[in-house]
Amino acid sequence: MSSADDRRNVRAGHTHGGGTVKGFVHKDRSPPPSLNDSLEGEIQAFLTDEDQLHTYDDLTKVNPVTPTTVLKCLQARYSVKVFYTHAGCTLVALNPFQPIPHLYSLDVMKEYHCAPQPQEFKPHIFIVAEEAYRNVQGQLEPVNQSLVVSGESGAGKTWTSRCLMKYYATVAASSSVVKSQHTVERIEKRVLDSNPIMEAFGNACTLRNNNSSRFGKYIQLQLDRCQLLVGASVQTYLLEKTRVGCQPANERNFHIFYQMMKGATDEQRKEWEMPRGQRFVWLPNAEKTVDEDCFHETVEAMVHLGINAERQRQIFTILAGILQLGNVNFSSSTDESQPCNLEEQSKDFLQRAAELLRVPAEELQMCLRVRTLKAGKQSVLKPCSQAECSMRRDCLAKVIYAQLFEWLVTFINNSMCADKSTWCNFIGVLDVYGFECFQTNNLEQLCINYANEKLQQHFVAHYLRAQQEEYVSEGLQWSFVKYQDNQSCLDLIEGSPVSVFSLLNEESRLNRASDSKMFRVRLEKELCDNVNISWDKFSKVPHFTVAHYAGKVNYQIQGMVDKNKDPVPPELSSLLQKSGNSLLHQIFTDKETENLTSKGLSKVTVVSKFKNSLESLMKILHATTPHYTRCIKPNPDCKPLTFKKEEVIMQLEACGIVETIHISAAGFPIRIPFSSFLQRYGLITTYSKLKSETRVDLEADSDVLQREVEKLLRVLLQTHAVDPSHCLGKPNSWVHCGRTKVFLTQSMLDLLEDQRNKILSQCAFSIQRCWLRYQRRRRHARLKSAIVIQAAVRSWLVRREVQRWNRAATVIQDTWRRWRALLKSLAEAELDDAKDLVEEEVPELNPVIRERGSVQLSNIQEPVTVRGWPMGLALASAPSITVSLTATGFQKMMSVMASLNLPSRRGDYKVETNQYTKGLASIRAQPKGSVKLHYQRSPLLYADRQPDQKSDVTGFNEILLEKTL
């Protein structure tokens, strides 16, 4: 059966807030004698059929809501391997202490992300993530979101935060925009790769958790206007750097040291001077193996973030130097005026540490054993005691590791943080250390528990108190649900003018040796009126007890003031600034620059610095929409699928789960101002049968807006066949109209959104129809216009072409007519004149010559040039004539000479051929006394023939050239 079916089946068996459950056995009982007896009876009736308890996916359906019923439901769900349960506005997550890959697969992410209503699915951390993501997308208002993951150490906060980051990295990367796909994938990879590095350098194996966060972090996932992941930034809080040099019993140092020991190659071990089998004082329980001991994964994440091989080598060399420093021990000197002696085996470790840190060994030894005191302008060297030498050694290791961790965080932020102009909203994931109570608790545990107190107070102020006060101010009939308010505990720790922190800072700023007994006396004197603090007067160890929201914790005073001072001897900083390791030199040079810029300010203690950073975090949380996830630790031993009732009930009472369920079951989790409500859902009235005749002014009086809201709700409820008087009249129903806001349950909000989406779909369908109709009409009109234009253009082109043809034909005709006329005139001029033939007496010619043609020359004595063509010409005898003939070939030439019948008198005639120079010419007669050329067949008969196009002769002569002998 699907999760949605499960949810519907469960809802079918309940009434909202009622106690009727289908299939449950109810016994008829007489009226209870007392309220306690009645409640006990209801609890027994509810728990009659425990086989059905695991079906309650939301604890607001439990009736009655008591710690016992809530605990039983959680136990039943945990036994069937269901680890997430809704508790009103909060998600309860039980740690299974074993990997469950299918629960967080990519298919599950897509299923929740693509679901129209993710709330219909089984409870999951992805529902919280998707709700926050859709809020950013603007379901109501695009407000920045914060996911607050809280719980005890070992409850599963780090794993939950890791799942949230992977979900957003996957969802925000599912874009079809090819241009931004590469950027999204790069940011997604870097966001995910920041986790292994942060956990390797900031997490450690403790008694309560194998992967306990020893620092707090708030990760901002930056989104652009398209809700795509464009960057991220990490803000860290209070790294537990004392763990570097001092590990509690049966606990380990930070993961990175063990990763180096177990994952380094032989070449790296040689470079780090870390041979196999060597033991380090600061690496206890090295034989224990946890899942986080994966050196290759950390190195791969460094590469993806852009930390090159040289920088990695410098980082691991520094870490190896810190480990070597931990093996350095001192022995007391017999002469107090002389520095402490190094133990014999410690000399090699000191030399190795100096080589790895790239500092002179002599100066390192001097800084650890001798203290520099300034008296005016003079410096005085004072030998340190054995305890002071060990403290300076630890201080050196702590400050190096803390600054290296801070550099890593800055590098990660620079590699994945986007420019402010490229993102507009963010989703924050808060993962802080859980509430801690060890056998020995000091300043670190006080700060950690103080941070948890602030988060609990934020939850109380935001939900438990603020919501109920708002119900009353808006006129809802509401009876207050009692809850545990931890404001008095916060006043004890951080209050003004006197608190634990203020007294601790005063003691730290005094230039004197700290005295734990004196500080305890002062605490008793100044804070005796606060009920949250107490003392055990018979204890030999000075301490004080604080009653936190999660229980009482004893804090040891010894060493608390010194840790708050967090002194770093100036000679140690100067030594590290001279380091040959470029990274170490850069870190402490930058730190020295920061110290110089802040010169003149009062010294910042650990407590004041942590308090200021936590206050900035709380401002961010108050400015965002929070989503709470409560991680519960089922058993103290971290055993898989083991449920300890005592452990769970204590956590449920401490974090106020039962009170949260009470308020969520009876209250309204969604609150929207009238103007915003009408602005978003006013279209329901506009497009209903009861259309509003007047348009509502959103800036009108609240009474007018309230009437419009009630009218809108009536229209909606009538549309869905729900009695409006029932829903609008009772305060514990679906919706209630207050004085300025509308209070809704999730069911009512879903109903509103569903109706709004239907109307928008109808409007979109109408717009699409009108647009398609307009597009089709426009396309048809354009088609008709195109046809008309094309027809007009074609007709104009045809007319222009016909006109051009007509003009060309006219020109050709005119030219041809002129040419024919010219030819005719030439032909007439060249033909024999009958009159001349009659008047002149022509001598009888030779028959052969007559057959071929005849030429009669006048008696003019002037030389006349006669040009003819090679067709067999005959010339009459003339006294002095220059004849220019054209003949091609020897035979033709001889034929011409024979046909001319020229006299043999030398010099009387001159024959000149011109076939190469002057071309072929016809006989041209002068006006008088012209030479007449007669030929059997006139060449003019061939004037209409087409000449050979390959000939070089042109004009009329070209036509005559066709007729040859």
Binding residues for ATP: 151-158
Side chain identity at residue 73, one-letter code: C
Place of tokens 């890593």: 408
Catalytic residue, candidates 55, 135, 150, 158: 158
**Strands 341-342 and 330-331, bridge-based pairing:** antiparallel
Q: How far apart are CA 202 and CA 118, in angstroms?
A: 34
Catalytic residue, candidates 55, 183, 212, 327: 212
Q: How far apart are CA 632 and CA 649, in angstroms?
A: 10
Catalytic residue, candidates 154, 202, 245, 428: 154
Are 649 and 72 in contact, with CB atoms under 8 Å apart? Answer: no
Catalytic residue, candidates 131, 273, 297, 436: 436
Catalytic residue, candidates 144, 161, 213, 854: 213
736-750 CB burial, b ≥16 within 10 A, e <16: bbbebbbbbbbebbe
| 499 flagged as catalytic | no
Alpha carbon 731 to chain centroid, angstroms? 43
**Which residues sit in the known binding site?**
151-158
Q: Considering just the CA atoms, what is the radius of gyration of the chain in Å?
A: 54
Are 703 and 738 in contact, with CB atoms under 8 Å apart? Answer: no
Q: How far apart are CA 44 and CA 62, in angstroms?
A: 13
What is the DSSP-derived secondary structure letter of residue 464?
I
N- to C-terminal Cα distance for the chain? 116
CA dist list (Å): 916 to 296, 885, 886, 964: 100, 11, 9, 17
Are 870 and 885 in contact, with CB atoms under 8 Å apart? Answer: yes
Catalytic residue, candidates 60, 69, 153, 442: 153
Catalytic residue, candidates 231, 434, 738, 868: 434
Q: How far apart are CA 404 and CA 77, in angstroms?
A: 44
Place of tokens 């940011």: 187
3-state secondary structure of 668: coil
DSSP symbols for 105-164: -HHHHHHHHH-S-GGGSPP-HHHHHHHHHHHHHTSS----EEEEEEESTTSSHHHHHHHH
49 φ, ψ to 5°? -110, 90
For 731, counting Cβ atoms within 10 Å of its Cβ (0-12 exposed, 13-18 middle, 19+ buried), the class is middle
Side chain identity at residue 175, one-letter code: S
Place of tokens 């791969």: 300
Q: How far apart are CA 71 and CA 60, in angstroms?
A: 13
| 158 flagged as catalytic | yes
Are 852 and 869 in contact, with CB atoms under 8 Å apart? Answer: no
The answer, yes or no, to whether the previous bond of 275 is cis (omega within 30 of 0) is no
| 212 flagged as catalytic | yes
Are 148 and 157 in contact, with CB atoms under 8 Å apart? Answer: no
| 213 flagged as catalytic | yes
Catalytic residue, candidates 194, 195, 209, 508: 209
Where on the phi/psi map is residue 959: left (φ > 0), alpha (ψ -120 to 50), or beta? alpha
919, two tokens: 């071309």
DSSP symbols for 311-345: HHHHHHHHHHHHHHHHT--EE--SSTTSPPEEPHH
The answer, yes or no, to whether the previous bond of 64 is cis (omega within 30 of 0) is yes
For 928, counting Cβ atoms within 10 Å of its Cβ (0-12 exposed, 13-18 middle, 19+ buried), the class is exposed
Are 575 and 367 in contact, with CB atoms under 8 Å apart? Answer: yes
CA dist list (Å): 200 to 161, 384, 405: 15, 34, 10
670 φ, ψ to 5°? -110, 130
Q: How far apart are CA 922 and CA 939, in angstroms?
A: 10
Side chain identity at residue 545, one-letter code: T
The CB-based long-range contact list for 423-426 (8 Å cut-off, 24+ gap) reads 423/222, 423/223, 423/224, 423/230, 423/231, 424/223, 424/224, 424/225, 425/136, 425/142, 425/143, 425/144, 425/222, 425/223, 425/227, 426/144, 426/145, 426/220, 426/221, 426/222, 426/223
| Strand stretches in 376-424, DSSP E | 378-383
Query: Cα angle vertex 430, ends 427, 431, to 5°?
Result: 145
Active site residues: 153-154, 158, 209, 212-213, 434, 436
